């Protein structure tokens, strides 16, 4: 049985949803190497589990992740990826072929915000506090924030958050586009699971995995190339059982019965570099 007092990330699977809970509540789930390694390992585990269709990431206690654990950084003038526990890259969640939803229950700062940005969707509790924080520690836009923020909210808004390092609340985060939805704190997990259940009941795992790969890949391509690739993927999808099941379920006015995402599913053709 898992010791919930000592395990830095908890893991639970129920009703097709894997819930990962960052579990250092006494430190507002501050980021450490041990937390990062277990977090990424569990994401990989959930990605390979046929019983998992959607992944939800939340925090124990009052915070989601309040940034790097400053005690572990004291006096360390040469912090690199291994010090942050990034034996996998910060963008590893974008490579997992299932939807990952950050259910941000509280403080989300620094590398914690970067980790949230690398999830596919972000739902937040009303009043939750966000900050990039880096500039106020004499640092730069770390851990992919200079890549993710401008793509989500535009250059000017991203520069505001990165230049100032100011605190902004969930409501402004939604207005900016940092988060998708804001819910009452006591409804956050239930509403997130409700959304995840809708995906499970109505959406093809193969389709979602392919769409996720398209989105992250096509951010970096011109529109003509992205459209051409999407057309090739659409043609391929016509041959999948999911397409036939999707059409039949629509005609028969029932929920579709899609198969789990196969472990060997080739999301994108191997010859696409």
Phi, psi of 197 (to 5 degrees): -65, -35
- How many domains in the chain? 2
24-53 residues labelled b (16+ CB within 10 A) or e (exposed): beebbbbbbbebbbbbbebbeebbebeebb
Show the tokens assigned to 93.
Answer: 């969640």
Task: Supply the pLDDT for residue 48.
Answer: 94
Same domain membership, residue 217 and residue 86: no
Task: Identify whether residues 132 and 16 lie together within a single domain.
Answer: yes
Same domain, residue pair 211 and 269: yes
Residue 100 in domain:
yes
The answer on 104 and 47 residing in a single domain is yes
Q: Which SS3 state, helix, strand or coil, does residue 130 take?
A: strand
- pTM (2 d.p.): 0.90
Strands (DSSP E) contained in the chain are 9-14, 17-22, 54-59, 63-65, 100-104, 107-109, 121-125, 129-131, 168-169, 181-183
241: domain CATH number is 1.10.12.10
Residues 88/42, Cβ–Cβ less than 8 Å = no
Nearest to 109 by CA among 139, 153, 151, 78: 139
Query: What tens-digit pLDDT sequence spans the chain (273 residues)?
Result: 445 667 999 999 999 999 999 999 999 999 999 999 999 999 999 999 999 999 999 999 999 999 888 765 544 444 444 445 557 888 999 999 999 999 999 999 999 999 999 999 999 999 999 998 776 677 766 887 888 899 999 989 988 898 888 999 999 999 999 999 999 999 999 999 999 999 999 999 999 999 999 999 998 888 998 999 898 888 988 989 988 989 989 999 999 999 999 888 888 887 776
3-state SS assignment for residue 241: helix
CA–CA separation, 7 and 22 (whole Å): 9
Q: Are residues 174 and 155 in the same domain?
A: yes
**Alpha carbon of 85 to those of 72, 76, 77, 104, 235: distances in Å?**
12, 15, 16, 21, 40
At 265 the pLDDT is: 86
pLDDT of residue 268: 86
Same domain membership, residue 139 and residue 79: yes
The reply to whether 133 and 191 lie within a common domain is yes
Structural domain includes residue 81: yes
Rounded CA separation 233/218 (Å): 13
Q: Which domain holds residue 45?
A: 9-200
- Residue 188 and residue 265 in one domain: no
On whether both 268 and 155 belong to a single domain, the answer is: no
- What string of DSSP letters covers 177-227? TS-SEEE-GGGHHHHHHHHHHHHHHHS-HHHHHHHHHHHHHHTTS-HHHHH
| CB-count exposure of residue 247 (10 Å: 0-12, 13-18, 19+) | exposed
* Per-residue confidence (pLDDT) for residue 75, from 0 to 100: 44
Q: At what angle do helices 241-251 and 205-218 cross, to 10 degrees?
A: 120
């Amino acid at each position: 049985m898992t010791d919930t007092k000592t395990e830095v990330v908890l893991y639970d699977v129920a009703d097709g949803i894997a819930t990962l809970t960052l579990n250092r509540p006494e430190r507002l789930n501050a980021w450490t190497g041990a937390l990062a390694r277990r977090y990424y390992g569990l994401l990989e585990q959930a990605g390979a589990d046929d019983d998992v269709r959607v992944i939800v990431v939340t925090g124990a206690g009052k915070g989601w992740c309040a940034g790097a654990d400053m005690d572990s950084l004291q006096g360390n003038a040469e912090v690199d990826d291994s010090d942050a526990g990034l034996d996998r890259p910060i963008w590893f969640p974008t490579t997992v072929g299932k939807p990952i939803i950050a259910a941000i229950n509280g403080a989300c700062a620094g590398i914690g915000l970067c980790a949230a940005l690398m999830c596919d969707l972000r739902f937040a509790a009303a009043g939750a506090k966000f900050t990039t924080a880096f500039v106020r520690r004499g640092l730069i836009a770390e851990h992919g924030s200079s890549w993710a923020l401008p793509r989500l909210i535009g250059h000017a808004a991203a520069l505001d958050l990165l230049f100032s390092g100011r605190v902004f609340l969930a409501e402004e985060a939604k207005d900016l586009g940092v988060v998708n939805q804001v819910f009452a704190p006591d409804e956050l997990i239930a509403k997130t699971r409700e959304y995840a259940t809708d995906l499970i009941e109505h959406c093809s795992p193969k389709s979602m995995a392919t769409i996720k790969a398209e989105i992250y890949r096509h951010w970096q391509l011109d529109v003509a190339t992205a459209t051409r690739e999407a057309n090739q993927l659409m043609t391929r999808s016509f041959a999948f059982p999911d397409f036939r099941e999707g059409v039949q379920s629509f005609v028969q006015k029932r929920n579709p019965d899609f198969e789990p995402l196969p472990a060997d599913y080739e999301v994108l053709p191997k010859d696409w570099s």
